[in-house]
Amino acid sequence: MSHSWHIEPHFSQRNNWLRASVLGANDGLISTASLLIGLAAVRPDASTILITGVAALVGGAVSMAAGEYVSVSSQADTEKSDLIKEARELERNPDKELAELTRIYEGRGLNADLAHEVAVALTAHNALEAHARDEIGITDTMSANPLQAAAASALAFCSGAILPVLVAIFSPAAALMPTLAASTLAGLGVLGYASAKLGGAPVKPALVRVLLWGAVALASTSLIGHFLGVQA
């Protein structure tokens, strides 16, 4: 029997930047396109469309970056606090912490002797790292990175928002709403497909999610624009 030795790809290490990127691009595309479609329903002039689109792009990108930075910074502060607390406990009660680590490995299926042996070996290698990973659930891969998340959110928002802005600039006024709707749904389809592939997830559910909620958002703002336009 032949054996193929390889390292299979895992996608969880992409969680930080992938989550922020998908959220940013979705928000940029849907929010900007929805705003422009709602505005287009009252037939404004071209300069109003342009100013609104650019303002939505810049304001949204800054807002996404700031919000993501604050959110992930709070997570990072919590992780840092947990690590400080764990380091203090390791210094004060090393035997108790070793027993705690042993119980963790027993709970994962190791017998008592082997669990103790593994706990001793990992404690000798790097006790804080072992407890951070196996007790708290913090690793270098999964730990929060505020700057990475903020930058990814801002760039992703811009990459999503730029499509409806360009469509609004170059589309004839009479065809602006259907062109915006079609291009936005196409962009959402590409985004859903790409995010599923990058995350190693099924493509169909990702496409259904983004297209469904994108259509709901576009229809909602279009109706609001028509209603306010009629009332005006």
Is residue 10 assigned to a domain?
A: no
* Spatial separation of the C-alpha atoms in residues 157 and 38, rounded to whole Å: 19
Q: Quick check: is 200 in a domain?
A: yes
Contact of 131 with 87, CB cutoff 8 Å: no
Per-residue pLDDT tens over the stretch 191-202: 888 878 777 778
128 located within any domain: yes
Domain count, the chain: 1
Instruction: State the Cα–Cα distance between residues 29 and 33, nearest whole angstrom.
Output: 6
Q: Tell me, yes or no, whether 217 lies in a domain.
A: yes
Residue 3, domain member (yes or no): no
Q: How far apart are CA 101 and CA 5, in angstroms?
A: 31
User: Could you tell me if residue 50 is inside a domain?
Assistant: yes
Q: What is the pLDDT of residues 16-65, one digit of tens each?
A: 556 667 778 888 999 999 999 988 888 888 888 889 999 999 999 999 88
Domain presence at residue 1: no
- Pull the structure tokens for residue 122: 């990992």
Residues 6+ apart with CB under 8 A from 207: 189, 192, 193, 196
Report if residue 7 sits inside a domain. no
Structural domain including 91 reads 15-226
